[in-house]
Amino acid sequence: MTTEEGPIAKDAYDKLADTYAQDVENSAYNAHLEFPGTTALIPDVEGKQILDAGCGNGRYTEWLLDQGGEVVAIDVSTEMLTRATERCGGRAEFHQANLGAPLDFATADEFDGIVSGLALDYVQNWHRPFTEFARLLKPGGFFVFSVIHPLDEYNIDGDMDYFEIEQRTKEWEPPVPYYRRPFSEVLSPLLETGFRVDAITEPQPTDAFKEQRPERFEKESKQPVFLCLRAVRRES
């Protein structure tokens, strides 16, 4: 039985809410590496019911709305939800929810798709959210998500244990705790909770990334930073 997890990064993101759009969302890594890699995997959402799982300040929520989706968005951070609500006006429905707990606000087979951009890194055990996502999705519904790449910053010559799910810290201000995991802990929870993998990408920096961060372009063109996946809920 999977137990409920506490939200490890809630306090940090409550404090980051005022500066997140400027310092993180508009950074080269998010705007010109992760975001285009993730959105490229999202199928047509026009007229579809979509869950934005871990919406932060509403960037993906806004994008999904602009593509014609009917969006329900959730996040554990009160402050980030406030920014997302302001950003999207009355176009989306918002709920405060912890991805490590049951998502009781929604019913089975309610959504055509689920999108989760860089939110699952703050959940240690993915069986809980993936089981809930499989319950909430209609058969054949899609699940697109992005996470930190399992090999990002992994030091093969160091003393890190690749096979462990390890808590690490982003040295931001304030520091943000997250989990690094091996590939097996990305794919196995998907397969064990009723999904099949439909597409995997390891996005590379765009020309806009090069313009914004020319000193990092060559390195990030050769080493993985993010992992983006599309899965589909199996019919039975």
Task: Quickly state the pLDDT bin for 155 (edges 50, 70, 90).
Answer: confident
Give the C-alpha separation, 197 to 190, whole Å. 8
Cα angle for residues 235, 96, 149 (degrees, 5° grid): 60
Amino acid at 61: T
Q: Are 5 and 98 in contact (CB under 8 A)?
A: yes
Q: Report the pLDDT value the prediction gives residue 4, as an integer from 0 to 100.
A: 65
Domains recognised in the chain with CATH numbers: 10-233 (3.40.50.150)
Check pLDDT > 70 for residue 18: yes
> Treating both helix axes as pointing N-terminal to C-terminal, what angle do 184-192 and 127-136 enclose, rounded to 10 degrees?
40
Do strands 70-75 and 137-148 pair parallel, antiparallel, or not at all (unpaired)? unpaired
Euclidean distance between CA atoms 7 and 164, whole angstroms: 20
* Cα–Cα dist 198/108, whole Å: 22
- Number of neighbouring beta carbons within 10 Å of residue 204: 17
**pLDDT value, residue 157:** 65
Mean pLDDT of the chain: 93
DSSP-based three-state secondary structure for 201: strand
User: pTM here?
Assistant: 0.95
At 129-145, the pLDDT tens digits run 999 999 999 999 999 99
DSSP assigned state of 5: P
Structure confidence by residue, pLDDT tens digits, 24-49: 889 999 999 999 999 999 999 999 99
DSSP assignment of 26-54: TSHHIIIIIHHHHHTT----TT-EEEEET
Q: Dump pLDDT digits (tens) for 175-210.
A: 999 999 999 999 999 999 999 999 999 999 999 999
> How far apart are alpha carbons 7 and 203 in whole angstroms?
28
Q: How confident is the model at residue 20 (pLDDT cuts 50, 70, 90)?
A: confident
According to the model, what pLDDT value does residue 2 have? 44
- Does residue 103 have a pLDDT over 60? yes
In whole angstroms, give the CA distance from residue 2 to residue 75: 20
Cα radius of gyration (the chain): 17
Confidence of residue 153 (pLDDT cuts 50, 70, 90): confident
